[in-house]
């Protein structure tokens, strides 16, 4: 994987004065299933600084959630195995750290919220209990003090009537309120990085916007690093600083939000943008990306996107494109990256 | 909740009436002379028969007999056997023994079954998992009278580590081995139920959340996973206790435990109608109360369930 090494080495253009808050480098994960070995991550690298929002964009199966779970150390193993790469928090390697150390980082330094809050919260415990639990178990806070903190946290995520609702069960909350409760829970130990795995996917559109605003506000106020995993370009545009686009367990493009939206440097990103409904093109047929996401048991040779790519040429079938640097903090893993952006 | 309990209690009345009536009718409908053999080798004297017919209202139609029986029952009178012993005294002699046996069996069933289930559920397809699966299959396939007799023979007679039968006092200590035999079948079911429940919940989203919160593994399993996985197991144990209270004819028979099961068996053979009806009524009642308790417990264990 020399291509990925290059990217990992050159990902951070700033002088290496301080290690990034959280850094994933050349991560390889495979799922060993009865049908064979699925290469789920094939050299994923990204990093995030304090106060920054990084969006991880990709279709289902592109590896965005698996990357997050590897960072957290909560992969189901078996079937998942980390076969290479590193995850560093403030320069400290986590993949080789002791299970105790990894556990200490979880929730405290890096916290995570999940897509479907109804199934992600334990149905038989009150919302309050689930927030207080971390404070009591990990900080040794008294029951009464933890309850006070839980009410404050519910207030912080703008749940009305926090004093009463802290005693209620997850099923008594509405979808949006449940997601807020989960955000409150993730903030209990005041984490440095919050990974939000499709936090709005299970919600109504109006509620989605409220939750995104809340996340953005909390991220700003606490100067937290926010890793926002999503397949929704609209969500990304509003809150993210930088974007990495994933495809078949690889990062195909990374750029800051403005640049990415102005001139996508990878045919896949371009296709994603073209498949967005647009007001100024009302009445015309919506563009779709033809074909299916690749089967990870049999990833296509060369560039994994070539069977679906409108620009695919002969070399795309044989050569895996190395990430091309297109600017500071900007890469694209496409043989035609430079042509793409010069064409505009 | 209060109204729900009241409704359930009221529902018990027709159930109880129906079962007692059926038992009563069936006991008196059993062919044969109820006084055969009551007077030893000789046939019973006519005076005795007349008196007995009088005492047990045998000349009334069955429905009237039943009515009289139920009226007495309401005033707490369970009637008496043909030899003049109060039915309630016989129940008071045997029921505590059965209760002790049931509790011993329940504890054994719960402790061994749940432990085995957790161990095997947490390691899917390991050696321990296979061990639990095979041994529970073994227990399920063997009839209780075989398990009981073999244990009695080996431990009680050949090795002599336990007394082969239980004394008339039937203390908790003496009941451990009979309790184990009585529990063996359910224990296997509890182990399997726990195993599948744990295996199913092990990959649940809330377990992943608990891990992501950085909780110790002990707490993730012991609090988050177990609390959810044991809900079906506990309701199973509750109904099982209800049926243990009905006595265990086979187990009691093997170990000579002076409990309800054997008493029912003997009183059916000797056509002691009042005793059979009284005992069965009590057992039906015990079972109904246990079912109600299980249902209420279910709502306590799973807050998503509410009874209006």
Between A and B, how many residue pairs show a Cβ–Cβ distance under 8 A?
73
Using an 8 Å CB-CB cutoff, list residues of chain B that contact chain A: 203-206, 208-216, 219, 224, 227-228, 231, 301-304
> In this model, does residue B141 exceed pLDDT 50?
yes
In a domain, B201, yes or no: yes
Per-residue pLDDT reduced to its tens digit, B60-93: 788 888 888 888 888 888 888 777 788 888 888 8
Question: So what's the pLDDT on residue A9?
Answer: 39
In a domain, B252, yes or no: yes
- Enclosing domain of residue B214: 102-259+280-301
CA distance A124 to chain B (A): 6
User: Taking the C-alpha atoms of B94, B263, B254 and B182 in order, what is their torsion angle to the nearest 10 degrees?
Assistant: -60
Question: So what's the pLDDT on residue A336?
Answer: 85
In a domain, B275, yes or no: no
> B206: nearest CA in chain A?
A120
Task: Give average pLDDT by consecutive 10-residue segment, chain A, 344 residues.
Answer: 38 54 92 89 91 90 91 88 91 90 92 91 94 92 93 92 92 91 92 92 85 91 92 83 92 90 88 80 77 86 88 86 86 85 67
In a domain, B230, yes or no: yes
3-class secondary-structure state, position A44: strand
> Which residues in chain A have Cβ-Cβ distances shorter than 8 Å to B227?
122, 124-125
CATH, residue B227: 1.10.3720.10
Question: What number is the ipTM of this complex?
Answer: 0.85
> Which residues in chain B have Cβ-Cβ distances shorter than 8 Å to A138?
214-215
In a domain, B208, yes or no: yes
- Cβ B198 vs Cβ B128: under 8 Å: no
Question: So what's the pLDDT on residue A343?
Answer: 64
Question: So what's the pLDDT on residue A15?
Answer: 42
pLDDT cut 90: percent of chain B above it: 30
In angstroms, the CA B74 to CA B27 distance is 20
Buried/exposed code over B197-230 (b: 16+ C-beta within 10 A; e: otherwise): bbbebeebbbbbbbbbbbbeeeebbebbbbbbbb
The residue count for chain A: 344
In a domain, B176, yes or no: yes
DSSP-assigned beta bridge partners for residue A196: A113, A228
Please give the mean pLDDT across all residues of chain B.
Answer: 86
In a domain, B92, yes or no: no
In a domain, B107, yes or no: yes
Question: So what's the pLDDT on residue B60?
Answer: 79
Whether B219 and A137 lie within 8 Å, measured CB to CB: yes
Would the pTM count as exceeding 0.90?
A: no
Region B145-173 average pLDDT: 86
Count the domains in chain B.
1
Question: So what's the pLDDT on residue B237?
Answer: 93
Question: So what's the pLDDT on residue A8?
Answer: 40
């Amino acid at each position: 994987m020399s291509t990925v090494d290059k990217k990992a080495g050159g990902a951070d253009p700033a002088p290496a004065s301080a290690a990034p808050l959280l850094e994933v480098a050349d991560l390889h994960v495979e799922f060993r299933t009865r049908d064979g070995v699925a290469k789920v991550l094939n050299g994923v690298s990204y990093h995030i600084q304090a106060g920054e929002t990084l969006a991880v964009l990709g279709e289902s199966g592109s590896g965005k959630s698996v990357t997050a779970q590897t960072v957290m150390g909560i992969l189901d193993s078996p079937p998942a195995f980390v076969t290479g790469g590193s995850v560093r928090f403030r320069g400290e390697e986590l993949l080789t750290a002791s299970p105790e150390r990894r556990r200490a980082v979880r929730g405290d330094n890096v916290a995570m919220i999940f897509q479907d809050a109804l199934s992600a919260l334990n149905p038989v415990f009150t919302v309050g209990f689930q927030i207080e639990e971390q404070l009591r178990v990990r900080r040794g806070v008294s029951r009464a003090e933890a309850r006070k903190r839980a009410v404050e946290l519910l207030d912080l995520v703008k749940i009305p009537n926090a004093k009463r609702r802290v005693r209620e069960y997850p099923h008594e909350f509405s979808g949006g309120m449940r997601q807020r409760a989960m955000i409150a829970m993730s903030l209990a130990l005041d984490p440095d990085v919050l990974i939000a795995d499709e936090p709005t996917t299970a919600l109504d559109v109006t509620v989605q916007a409220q939750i995104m605003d809340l996340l953005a506000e909390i991220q700003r106020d606490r100067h937290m690093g926010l890793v926002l995993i999503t397949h929704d370009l609209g969500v990304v545009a509003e809150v993210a600083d930088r974007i990495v686009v994933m495809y078949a367990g690889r990062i195909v493009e990374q750029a800051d939000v403005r640049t990415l939206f102005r001139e996508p440097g990878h045919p896949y990103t371009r296709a994603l943008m073209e498949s967005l409904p647009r007001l100024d093109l009302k009445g015309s047929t919506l563009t779709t990306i033809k074909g299916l996401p690749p089967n990870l048991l049999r990833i296509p040779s060369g560039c994994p996107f070539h069977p679906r790519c409108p620009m695919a040429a002969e070399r795309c079938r044989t050569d895996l494109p190395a990430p091309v640097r297109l600017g500071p903090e900007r890469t694209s893993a496409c043989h035609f990256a430079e042509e793409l952006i010069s064409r505009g | 909740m209060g109204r729900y309990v009241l409704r359930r209690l009221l529902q018990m009345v027709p159930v109880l009436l129906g079962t007692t009536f059926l038992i009563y009718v069936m006991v008196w409908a059993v062919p044969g002379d109820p006084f055969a053999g009551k007077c030893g080798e000789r046939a019973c004297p006519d005076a005795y028969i007349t008196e007995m017919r009088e005492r047990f209202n045998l000349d009334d139609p069955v429905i009237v007999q039943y009515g009289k029986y139920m009226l007495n029952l309401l005033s707490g009178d369970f009637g008496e056997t043909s030899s003049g012993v109060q039915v309630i005294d016989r129940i008071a002699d045997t029921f505590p023994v059965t209760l002790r046996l049931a509790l011993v069996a329940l504890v054994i069933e719960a402790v061994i079954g749940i432990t085995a289930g957790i161990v095997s559920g947490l390691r899917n397809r390991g050696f321990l998992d296979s061990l639990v699966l095979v041994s529970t299959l073994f227990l399920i396939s063997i009839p209780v009278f075989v398990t009981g007799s073999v244990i009695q023979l080996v431990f009680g007679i050949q090795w002599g580590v336990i007394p082969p039968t239980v004394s008339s006092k039937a203390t908790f200590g003496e009941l451990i081995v009979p309790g184990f035999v009585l529990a063996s079948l359910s224990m296997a079911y509890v182990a399997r139920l726990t195993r599948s429940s744990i295996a199913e919940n092990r990959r649940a989203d809330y377990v992943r959340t608990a891990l992501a919160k950085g909780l110790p593994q002990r707490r993730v399993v012991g609090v988050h996973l177990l609390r959810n996985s044991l809900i079906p197991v506990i309701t199973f144990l509750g109904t099982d206790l209800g049926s243990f209270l009905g006595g265990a004819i086979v187990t009691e028979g093997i170990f000579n435990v002076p409990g309800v099961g054997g008493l029912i068996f003997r009183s059916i053979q000797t056509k002691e109608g009042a005793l059979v009806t009284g005992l069965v009524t009590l057992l039906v009642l015990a079972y109904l109360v246990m079912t109600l308790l299980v249902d209420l417990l279910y709502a306590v264990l799973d807050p998503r369930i509410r009874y209006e």
